[in-house]
Amino acid sequence: MKKSDIQSALESVGNSTEKNIVAAGLVRNIQIFGDEVIVDAESISPTLQAKKKLEVDIMKAIHDKVHEKAKVTVNVTVSEKKAKEVADNVIKGAAIPGVQNIIAVASGKGGVGKSTVTANLAVTLHKMGFKVGLIDADIYGPSAPIMFDIQHAKPLTVHVDGKNKMGPVEGYGVKVMSIGFFANMDQAVVWRGAMATKALTQMIHDTHWGELDFLLIDLPPGTGDVHLSMVQNVPVTGAVVVSTPQKVALADARKGVAMFKMEQINVPVLGILENMSYFTPPELPDNKYYLFGKEGARQLAKTMDVPFLGELPLVQSIREAGDIGRPAALQEGTGIPLAFEEIARNIVSEVADRNENLPPTEFVRITTMAGCSPKKK
């Protein structure tokens, strides 16, 4: 093994400045003793997960590109100087007072039932005894007001510490904030990305949430301005990705998971949830018809090494409940609340595990010059 080979391999390892660690000057020393390699490297982030990721990436690069059986030791320290250089050129947000955990609910593709799932999970968490809030961040297609039967409500102004804030509208014990409260039901929201970003920022920070155990953020489909604004504005505890088992939906769900896993974003993925897993006719309760494929989301979770949170059936009453503004999770005496409770318990368990084993999520370090492209230079 040659030092130049090791250095060349490390050029495939990126960091949040969009340069590889060699070009960024983060490799301090390389020593080779036979089949043993010692690499001294610097991280621009002090977090445990960032340092561990850098260590794993360096070891993988050497094993993949130089010698698969090399004995690699990586010593990672924090470069305070480079961390300050990056910090001087980033956009930072602020935590939400009183909110313990922020969960982003996303989907790669629209129409997979993300908003319905989010509303029912919020109600279920409240039934379990938690204090819950919900931000309807789907600026162009808000649906939370209809699903909670509060479409005619308006947020009231509350005075907090000498400042005027918006009071969220409460539905079934869940505190809800949505752009739908401010727009006419027949009015299309035709905004550029900057306006949508500003609206989301105001809904997050100009709302008086009080004490919350969980704040769920119902994101629009895809990956774009609103998603980046959300992770820049608040330290997201973790993300839940919703998909159907259909291949087309799974292809986009994969991109959603990949977005949160990007080095520049680095939001823990709590898991993937499969909606519309199967259809069971009321007259044939023992039959399951897999209309969109079988266990696609489960397999995707396994492939991408993230937890599988559970599956929800395709049931007419869930749709009907959303249309009349009473979430299906409130339908006692049916199997629907049990299905949502199982998934909610899994999410709570993943949040507890994440909070115990990982440091708090930092605000996303997106430079004003480079954006959030994963491209390495």
In tens, the pLDDT along 300-336 reads 999 888 999 999 988 888 888 888 888 988 888 778 8
Q: Given CATH 3.30.300.130, say whether it is the number of domain 3-87.
A: yes
Measured distance CA(214)–CA(287) in Å, rounded? 36
Per-residue pLDDT tens digits for 331-371: 887 788 999 999 999 999 998 888 877 777 655 544 433 34
Collapsing DSSP to helix, strand or coil, 366 comes out as coil
Model confidence at 81, pLDDT cuts 50, 70, 90, reads: low
pLDDT at 58: 92
Ranges of each domain in the chain = 3-87, 99-357
Q: Which amino acid, 315? A: V
Number of Cβ within 10 Å of residue 289's Cβ equals 11
Per-residue pLDDT tens digits for 23-41: 888 899 999 998 899 999 9
Q: Which amino acid, 351? A: V
Left if phi > 0, otherwise alpha if psi is -120 to 50, otherwise beta: which for 187?
Answer: beta
Question: Which CATH number applies to 99-357?
Answer: 3.40.50.300
* 162-192: b (≥16 Cβ within 10 Å) or e: eeebbbbbebbebbbbbbbbeeeeeeebeee
Torsion on CA atoms 228, 233, 239, 243, rounded to nearest 10: -40
Model confidence at 183, pLDDT cuts 50, 70, 90, reads: confident
pLDDT at 362: 58
DSSP run (H or E) holding 225: helix 225-233
Is 37 within 8 Å of 72 (Cβ atoms)?
yes
Measured distance CA(167)–CA(207) in Å, rounded? 6
Per-residue pLDDT tens digits for 235-278: 888 999 999 898 888 888 888 888 888 767 778 899 999 999 88
Measured distance CA(346)–CA(271) in Å, rounded? 9
If we measure between CA atoms, which residue out of 279, 275, 313 comes closest to residue 113?
275
